[in-house]
Amino acid sequence: MVEAADRYVELVRAKAVTGALSPATAEVYARDAATLVALAGESTVLDDLTGEDVDAILLAFARKPDGRRVVPGAGLQSASSQARFRRSISALFKHAVLAGWVQINPMAMATVMARERGGLRAERRALTREQAQGLVGAARELQSVPEQGRRDQRMELRDGLIVLLLTALGPRVSELVRANVEDFFTNDGVRYWRIFGKGGRTRDVPLPADVAVALEVYLERGRGEVADKALLLSWRGRRLARGDVQAVIERVQRRVAPEQRRSVTPHGLRHTTATHLLADAVDMDAVRRVLGHSDLSTLGRYRDELPGELEVAMRAHPLLRAPKPEA
Active-site residue (options: 154, 198, 221, 242)? 198
Q: Which of 15, 223, 267, 271 is catalytic?
A: 267
Sequence length of the chain is 327
Antiparallel, parallel or unpaired: β 184-187 and 202-206: unpaired
Angle among Cα 318, 323, 324 to the nearest 5 degrees reads 115
Active site annotation includes 270: yes
**10 Å Cβ neighbour count for 292?**
21
Q: Residue 267 contacts by C-beta under 8 Å, 6 or more apart in sequence?
A: 80, 124, 173
Q: Are 253 and 261 within 8 A, CB to CB?
A: yes
Annotated catalytic residue within 8, 29, 218, 302: 302
Q: Which of 86, 288, 293, 303 is catalytic?
A: 293
Name 185's bridge partners. 192
Q: Among this protein's residues, is 267 annotated catalytic?
A: yes
- Residues 111, 267: Cα–Cα separation, whole Å: 27
> Is 172 among the residues known to form the active site?
yes
- How would DSSP label each residue in 178-226? H-BGGGEEEETTEEEEEEE-GGG-EEEEEPPHHHHHHHHHIIIIIS-S-
Candidate list 270, 271, 276, 303, residue with the active-site label: 270
The yes-or-no answer on residue 293 being catalytic is yes
Q: Please confirm, yes or no, whether 64 is among the known catalytic residues.
A: no
Of 125, 172, 288, 303, the catalytic one is 172
Q: Is 8 a catalytic residue?
A: no
DSSP state of 306: -
Which amino acids are annotated catalytic?
Answer: 172, 198, 267, 270, 293, 302
